[in-house]
Amino acid sequence: MQATPLYCAECARRDTAERLAARFALPLVKQRPDSGYWLELGPERLELVTTGKHGAVYAEFVEGAAKHRREQGGGRGQPVAKAVGLKGAKDLPRIVDATAGLGGDSFVLATLGCQVTLLERSPVAAALLFDALERASVHPDTQDIVARMTLIHTNAITWLAEQAELPWSQRPDVVFVDPMFPDTDKKSAAAKKGMQAFQHVIGDDMDSAALLEAAIAAATGRVVVKRPQRGVLIEGVKPSVVLDGKSTRFDLYVIKALRPQDFVGRE
């Protein structure tokens, strides 16, 4: 797949554009592209844009849905908090979000007090995330929350394999996985309409089974897979528990409860 170009629309932010281009290996272009998708750095933020009908896509932790979540969020009773085991927990788990995307789930978990390591392999998503974290780190309402979020631009499969070699006490308690699945479910495809530009640029994650296996090898507590309510299971391992929600489902792989027969197709 061709690298997504980065265009700087704001002369005063040329240095920031150069740093982003170097950090995420993005080709910095002098002119705004007239077709396809590109990253555009404006006076306020970095966006993924296109000449087509899709709106701009960006990560955001200060305004909009993130603000609403901060102010009205469901606390430890909300499904994602239950899924990672926050309900009733004395100690907050150390969480690795292996598929950080635009950071929505990581932000919720960090808002609840967890330390979250965000892994993202796409340079486009990682750059959008980096920009949003920078903006949130200088806003009084969000700086404490994003101080608990650490972004690493890497492939989670290899990163988690390295974690699996570490002593037990240094490994993550929970690995959270929310892959971009090739979905046949029409309802969930429609729900994601606003994210079509993001999906188009990043593509489907065809190696989710390898990611799940690496996550299970690295986590000491559990792996949480987020899926659309009717989405198919990631193949390879049977979940220990399934938490059904209205539109989202969480498949839990509780490390201590996994038995050899849960690993499908393995001798």
Ligand X SMILES: C[S@@+](CC[C@H](N)C(=O)[O-])C[C@H]1O[C@@H](n2cnc3c(N)ncnc32)[C@H](O)[C@@H]1O
Under DSSP, is residue 255 helix (H, G, I), strand (E, B) or coil?
helix
**Residue whose CB is less far from ligand X, 16 or 155:** 155
Rounded Cα distance between 238 and 106, Å, is 25
When the beta carbons of 8 and 37 are compared against ligand X, the nearer one is 37
CA distance 260 to 267: 9
Nearest-CB residue to ligand X? 101
Q: With respect to ligand X, which residue has the nearer C-beta, 179 or 239?
A: 179
CB contact burial 175-199 (16+ within 10 A = b; e otherwise) = bbbbbbbebeeeebeeeeeeebbbe
CB of 200 to ligand X, least distance (A): 12
**Residue 159 tokens, joined:** 């990163």
Q: Closest distance between ligand X and the C-beta of residue 96, in Å?
A: 10
Contacts of 209 (CB under 8 A, 6+ apart): 234, 235, 236
Helix (H) or strand (E) holding 164: none
Chain residues binding ligand X by CB under 6 A are 98-99, 101-105, 119-122, 125, 155-157, 178-180, 202, 205, 211
Residue 5's CB: how many other CB atoms inside 10 A? 18
Cβ distance to ligand X smaller for residue 13 or 200: 200
Of residues 5 and 179, the one with the C-beta less far from ligand X: 179
* 3 state DSSP class of 177: strand
Give least dist CB 108 to ligand X, A. 8
Q: How far is the CB of 260 from ligand X (least distance, A)?
A: 25
CB of 70 to ligand X, least distance (A): 15
